């Protein structure tokens, strides 16, 4: 969880590849519901390589990050 919080506070966000290498599990599969919820609301931007906050998401990042706990 600390990894997610730290990575999401950067403009690069969480890299799916780096997460999988580090924790031996698929980030998207583990957090799919949360990612889809905030992608559809425009708070998270999802690419093929990872996720990051949108400008809108950075404004409320603390409340979004609690969903990953």
What would the pLDDT profile of 42-62 be if each residue is shown by its tens digit? Answer: 999 999 999 999 999 999 999
Question: What is the spatial distance between Cα 45 and Cα 26, in angstroms, rounded to a whole number?
Answer: 18
37 token code pair: 């919820």
Closest listed residue to residue 7, CA positions, set 63, 67, 61: 61
Backbone angles phi, psi at 52, to 5 degrees: -155, 160
**Gap between the Cα atoms of 57 and 24, Å rounded:** 27
Res 8 pLDDT > 90: yes
> Which of 43, 47, 11 has the alpha carbon at shortest distance from 28?
47
Whole-prediction pTM = 0.93
Q: Give the mean pLDDT of 10-32.
A: 97
Q: How much is the average pLDDT of 32-50?
A: 98
pLDDT band (50, 70, 90) for residue 20: very high
Is pLDDT above 90 for 13?
yes
């Amino acid at each position: 969880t600390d990894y997610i919080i730290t990575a999401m506070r950067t403009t690069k966000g969480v890299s799916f590849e780096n997460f999988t290498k580090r924790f031996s599990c698929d980030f998207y599969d583990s957090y799919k519901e949360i990612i889809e919820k905030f992608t559809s609301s425009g708070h998270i931007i999802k690419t093929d390589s990872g996720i990051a906050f949108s400008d809108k998401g950075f404004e409320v990042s603390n409340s979004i990050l609690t969903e990953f706990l």
